[in-house]
Structure 1
Amino acid sequence: MLKLQIANERDRKEAQNRERRRQCELERRSRIFNARNRKIGVDVPFLERQIAEKNAERDEQKRRDLAFAQQMIKDSNLAVVLEARELEERRRIGVEIDAFRHNYQRMEDRREYDLNDPEVLKKQLPPRASDGDPVGMSSAQKFEGEDLNYEERKKLMASQKNAWLEQQVQERKAAEEERKKAEAAYMMAIKARDARASELDKLEQECRYRLGQANLRYNEALAAEKKQLEQIIKEQEEADNTAEIYNNLTSDMLTENPDVAKSAFGKDRAIGFMYKGMNQEELKKFYAAQKEQMAAAKAKREAEEKMEAEWQALAKSIQREVARQDIQDQRLRREIARQLMEENQLMALQQKEKEKYYKEVVYNNTPTDEYYAQFNTTTR
């Protein structure tokens, strides 16, 4: 037989201890092998502030939940009260509806009660009771196609037809009388309207005639006044034209009086719109001053040309000096570039020799992956 070992209490405790140590080792390894916590550390004030914020948020949430629960209790109580009131109101309305139906909507008061009367058969008379032909209880009371109330129904239909015809005749007579009255009233209204329209037309024609006469008299008065005013304006214009012609003929402008151009601000000043030109003496002075101005302008122009030539010569000499300095700077830059290239080549050779030395002498024993794998395998 196969013998199985049964685990006792001590084995279970030992297994629990091993599992607890294994979990602790995994947690310790996750903390120690975490490069961020090992190199940077944990921001304790920030964590404390987060804990405080979480606690405050938790307290605020508890307060809100408590307030919400209290409000829910109040709302529930209010809902219970309102529901009780609603049920009471519905019960009261139901009682009133039942009382109204019992008092005013009874089954026997309905219009179609004779169709739904459960005792209608008990209340009906036998079909053969009207024709005086007695039959027994076990005999057939009525056959298919038999009409026992034909005579009575025929009389009723004839009387009803006569009543309908009489009613139609009366209605037609009343409608005809109403139509005649409406036509008479309409004709009277048309006649009154036509009479009023003709009266208003006569009044309008009379008003237009009077208004035309008044406009004609007013226009005649305006024409006479306009004609008189035009005559006065024409006479005034003729007088003004004659005076203007005389004034122009005798004015200083046409007579060219030189004294009228003299200004009150000095003897050398003249009034522009009355000035008639210079005399011979003034013309001689003007021409002499003009020649002097021309000579001064010529001398100024020659001096400016001489100065411009000197500036051009100076600019050319500066350009030549700048070109010579640029050539010298280019030569110096080429020499510096050549020296720099030689120094870079020498440094490159030295770097290659240094790398060769490190590779062949210093770094000849390169560690493998097995060498690194033996580290950080446990926290102890």
Structure 2
Amino acid sequence: MMKLQISNERDRKESQNRERRRQCELERRSRIFNARNRKIGVDLPFLERQVAEKRAEREEQDRRNLAFAQQMIKDSNLAVVLEARENEERRRINAEIDAYRQQYQRPEDRREFDLNNPDVLKMQLPPRATDDAPVGMSSAQKFEGEDLNYEERRKIMAAQKNAWLEQQVQERKAAEEERKKAEAAYMMAIKARDARAGELDQMERECRYRLGQANLRYNEALAAEKKQLDQITKEQEEADNTAEMYNNLTSDMLTENPDVAKSALGKNRAIGFMYKGMNQEELKKFYAAQKDQMAAAKAKREAEEKMEAEWQALAKSIQNEVARQDIQDKRKRREIARQLMEENQLLALQQKEKEKYYRDVVNNNVPTDDYYSQFNTTTR
């Protein structure tokens, strides 16, 4: 008759305790056998704080880059405005120079204009007795090279030349003063731009210095905090290790108490993780079973050796048979090769006799020159 064991509350608690201990053992095994976590460890809050710090530092760097870019754009716009002003000033000066040339340096006011005047023939005086007396076209009284009013004209030309020189000197002085004023204004603008660039560079250096100092102070604070956390962690770990050592020394595992291994489920059942070993009666049964296993293993090994010897004998006989068949095949191949060689020699001899027959009997009528000379001798 089969006996059924009904689980009670005590059995359920024991099962729950075993499951809880099994889970704890699995967690501890995963924690201990993980070399990286055991030796290095993972500080997740510290890593998250580092990620946040890196993100804030990146945002601060982006903000500084944006500010520098905006300032660079302002400087570029200022340089563009100054360059536009300079170009406008140059265009104004060139326009004034062109206007001066149109007003005071006309071609007809040049000293040699009388040599290049296209209307010189229209402006010549007619033949005359004097320069002011008109004469007819056929009077032949005016000739090339004559200049009756040379002295008066020379004086007028000298006075006009002096007036022109004085006017050119005054105009050149005025143009030089205007040029100097424009260059002075341009140099002042360049100096102002350089001063502004120097101020911006100084401000940038000061900002970088302050930022470096702030980073240094922040890193020092982080290092101090990290050192303090390491010290607290070390003290906590030492306290945990001391408590674990004390618990292990006072536990039933090291005191070798055999009663703690007895299970509540039956007298023949034991708790595995608290089991300390077998008694003398159990050892005798174990040694007897071990001897029986050794005898069975020896008999099995002898049977396997016997079967292996039989297989080796069979393989050797098969190998000998294969070698004998191989020798017979080689002999047959040599015989076939010898027969084939004899047949080839016979065929070669027949071929030589046939060639000799064709050469001596069939092909002995060779045409001579008389045979070829009878052709193409007539027109038909």
Q: TM-score, normalised by structure 2?
A: 0.40
Structure number with larger C-alpha Rg: 1
Q: TM-score, normalised by structure 1?
A: 0.40
Larger relative contact order (Cα-Cα within 8 Å, sequence gap ≥ 6): 1
